Amino acid sequence: MSHLLETTQSRTQAEDVAEALKAIANPRPARIPIIRTPAEYGLEYEDVFFQAIDGVPLEAWFIPADSDKLIIFNHPGTFNRYGFPGHLEPWSKANDFEVNFIKIHEALHNAGYNVLAFDMRNHGTSGAANDGVMAYGMYEWRDSAGAMQYVKGHEKLKNMQVGWFSPCAGGNATLRAMTECPELFEDVKALVCPQPCSASISIKQIAGFQGLQDYMEELNLEVLKQGGMPYNKCTPHPYAPNVKVPTFIIQVHDDPITKPIDVQTTYDLIPGEEKKLFWIEGTTRRFDGYNYFGEHPEQMLEWYDKYMK
């Protein structure tokens, strides 16, 4: 009887581990709603749409300003152009406070920058693609390239100086797009890139919260079984050496979802001297890095002002 009990307990534990690994490896996060618009902040805006370089329909806001300067804005994985409603259930289970990118849009607008903020594929109200898989920028680079095609073909926008704001997976996407389609980005003046990340490190950290950090081989197999992309392929490191744009990276130093060496490596791989790395201290909350420029826009605006004269 005791042997049977031990076997049952062991089987249950194995099943619990398998279920946890399956949940961690899920490459198709549910879309979250866009619960705010620029109008809430008194900003005039236009709903626009265009295509990714592979034809996926993308939806965006265009927030006009009286200038010839444009910031193109994407977002982290699982977010959308608005941000992340962590102050509401059920999203508070993942992060219990809101990320509101519209505050950054407002700061840019008030400083004289036009803003084009779009939802990447499988996020917000943009089209579905790649069987719904979120690939940490490794499919989404086609959206960044499509945004540049849209701007270059637009009667008014094509004459503007262009900068990018690309956080997390959006940063990975833009770095890869600069590698795959350098001709589209040759006139880009500046990039602000909060918290680019390598999935293999982030997933291992997340697994560690449940004591599963030693199951990376199983997690890689599980994500493949679910149709996702191998974690070691989802990193900005191979693409950073091809960045030719003045780049400003920020990162929460004690972020438990990554390790400082990952972001430092991305920064070090970017060539040239026109780059900057700023560590956010005094917090362990990754999402504070996404809100940082909405609360403290000075360094961001200084960077764009310097290179988008």
Number of alpha carbons in the 13 Å side-chain half-sphere of residue 270: 25
Residue with tokens 């560590």: 279
pLDDT tens, residue order, the chain (309 aa): 444 444 555 557 889 999 999 999 999 999 999 999 999 999 999 999 999 999 999 999 999 999 999 999 999 999 999 999 999 999 999 889 999 999 999 999 999 999 999 999 999 999 999 999 999 999 999 999 999 999 999 999 999 999 999 999 999 999 999 999 999 999 999 999 999 999 999 999 999 999 999 999 999 999 999 999 999 999 999 999 999 999 999 999 999 999 999 999 999 999 999 999 999 999 999 999 999 999 999 999 999 999 998
Query: How are beta strands 275-280 and 83-84 bridged, if at all?
Result: unpaired
Nearest to 138 by CA among 73, 20, 257, 232: 232
Give φ, ψ of 130 to 5 degrees. 55, 40
Preceding peptide of 76 cis, ω within 30°: no
- pLDDT score at 1: 46
- pLDDT score at 101: 98
CA–CA gap between residue 25 and residue 87 (Å, rounded): 25
Residue 197 in tokens: 């990340």
Domains, the chain, ordered by start? 34-198+234-307 (3.40.50.1820)
CA gyration radius for the chain?
Answer: 20
Nearest to 270 by CA among 228, 233, 230, 236: 236
3-state secondary structure (DSSP) of residue 280: strand
- pLDDT score at 14: 84
- pLDDT score at 4: 44
- pLDDT score at 63: 98
pTM over 0.85: yes
Task: Give yes or no for a contact between 50 and 56, defined as CB atoms under 8 angstroms apart.
Answer: no
Element (H, E) at 269: helix 260-269
The letter for the amino acid at 195 is: Q
